[in-house]
Amino acid sequence: MNKIICKTVLEHQDAFVPHLFTRNQVGVLNKYLQQTPLTPTEKAYLYSTIKRKIEALSLLREEFYVQGEGMIPKRVEEAKEILKGLHKGRAFISGSFLFKEEYQDIDIFIVGRKREQYQQGKKQFIFLTWSDLAKPIFFPSVSYCVSTFSLAEVKPDLRRTNFEELLLSYEVSINEIIENDDQKTLRYILNYYYINVQKRVLNSSVLDKELTLLISQPYQQKIAKVNALMKELLIASFSGRYLYTKMSDFIRTVRKLKEEYSTNNLDIYLSLAEGVKNESRISQAEA
């Protein structure tokens, strides 16, 4: 909730009670700001009735928060106008629309209780929950956006990613490179590489520049770079024993596929898997 609005309600509670808030609701709001533990009943009031009223009051302020540098001023103003028309308490616009003149698609994020995604013309609507904002897949957008509410409290969730999810993203990325597709999955790998290996969280603008630099490389260099990044990422994220087992299984699977298919991606997968497996064996021997 917008804490500035909450404080305003408390400072001028005589003007709000009983017209908009009850005395009990103001008391709950005060406990919330003071970070005093709430009872189950008070929590229910806070996150239903009180929250909806605060979000409605936030719309009247028409207050916007800009996170990040290098945005196109005209696009920032366009983003504000779009957000005004949404009439949503917590929403933000992020992505290339804010810093690339040629980019017309608009990524609109709306924070609520449900997860949903759909397209309306050039507008992509992404509904997500508050806890989703901290996830590595969304945090680059959170840290570079125009929003209707403060995102300063959101901190990235740096917990280790899922191995299968990471490996699948790698396979999709290699196929996108081979087929000269849009190669957007590389963004996911780059994001996790910087978080787990470089210990840095990039905002969407910087991440886009890194992705553009990688995509612009010649085919063979690009494949080699992706394999090198992935190798570092896996070794930094998982134990040697775990990787040795997982890579051994993956190598057997790929070799079995090679008996039926002769596609380029399988040799690329093997190159990575054998390199990671060898490093894992060395790390176990040294432990």
SS3 labels along 21-70: CCHHHHHHHHHHHCCCCCCHHHHHHHHHHHHHHHHHHHHHHCCCEEECCC
Could you give the CA distance from residue 109 to residue 90 in angstroms, rounded to a whole number?
A: 9
Would you say residue 190 has pLDDT above 70?
yes
pLDDT of residue 231: 96
CATH number of 65-147: 3.30.460
**CB count in 10 Å sphere of residue 241:** 13
14-71 pLDDT per residue, tens: 888 888 899 999 999 999 999 899 999 999 988 888 888 887 776 666 678 999 889 9
Paired tokens of 33:
């700001």
Q: Report the 10 Å Cβ neighbour count for 181.
A: 12
pLDDT of residue 117: 92
pTM for the model stands at: 0.67
Domain limits, CATH 3.30.460, in the chain: 65-147
Residue 38: how many CA atoms within 13 Å on its side-chain side? Answer: 19
What gap in Å lies between CA 17 and CA 95, rounded to an integer? 41
- Give the pLDDT confidence of 61-105 residue by residue, as tens digits: 667 899 988 999 999 999 999 998 887 878 999 999 999 998 889
The C-alpha atoms of residue 196 and residue 238 are separated, in whole angstroms, by 10
